[in-house]
Amino acid sequence: NAGVTQTPKFHILKIGQSMTLQCTQDMNHNYMYWYRQDPGMGLKLIYYSVGAGITDKGEVPNGYNVSRSTTEDFPLRLELAAPSQTSVYFCASSKPGLAGGRGEQFFGPGTRLTVL
């Protein structure tokens, strides 16, 4: 049981390039999330999904896109990268809050992205 995995761990992108951050979970969680964390700051929600085929914007969606074709995968696409997108990106998953259980999110190890 690997939990939430993210690739790559590190990446340097040039301004204007595009790339996809991969996220996979093997816990059969309906809910998945993408956050960004700037240095010394908290988490900001970019996008989330409550199930395959359903995605919704968080508080900072501009410059990003997501898709959710399977329960397991939730890739984050950066189009036309800008220096302001330099950050650490975390993927997380959880059961729905009302599904019972412990309610917490499970986080991947993060991707450190630098845009130069």
Report in angstroms how near the CB of residue 48 gets to other proteins at its nearest: 9
To other proteins, the closest distance from the beta carbon of 116 in angstroms equals: 21
Q: Of 61, 63, 75, 109, which one interacts with other proteins (CB under 8 A)?
A: 109
Query: Is 98 a binder of other proteins (CB under 8 A)?
Result: yes
Name, in order, each residue with C-beta under 8 angstroms of 105's C-beta and a sequence gap of 6 or more.
Answer: 33, 92, 93, 94
**Cβ nearer to other proteins, comparing 2 with 42:** 42
State yes or no: residue 110 binds other proteins (CB under 8 A): yes
Pairs from 35-39 (Cβ < 8 Å, separation ≥ 24)? 35/89, 35/90, 35/91, 35/92, 36/60, 36/85, 36/87, 36/88, 36/89, 36/90, 37/87, 37/88, 37/89, 37/90, 37/110, 38/87, 38/88
Please give the angle made by the CA atoms of 96, 70 and 12, to the nearest 5 degrees: 100
Q: What's the closest the beta carbon of residue 76 comes to other proteins, in angstroms?
A: 17
Site for other proteins in 20-39 (CB under 8 A): 31, 33, 37
Provide the binding-site residues for other proteins, judged by CB under 8 A.
31, 33, 37, 40-43, 45, 50, 88, 90, 92, 94, 96-98, 102-105, 107, 109-110, 112
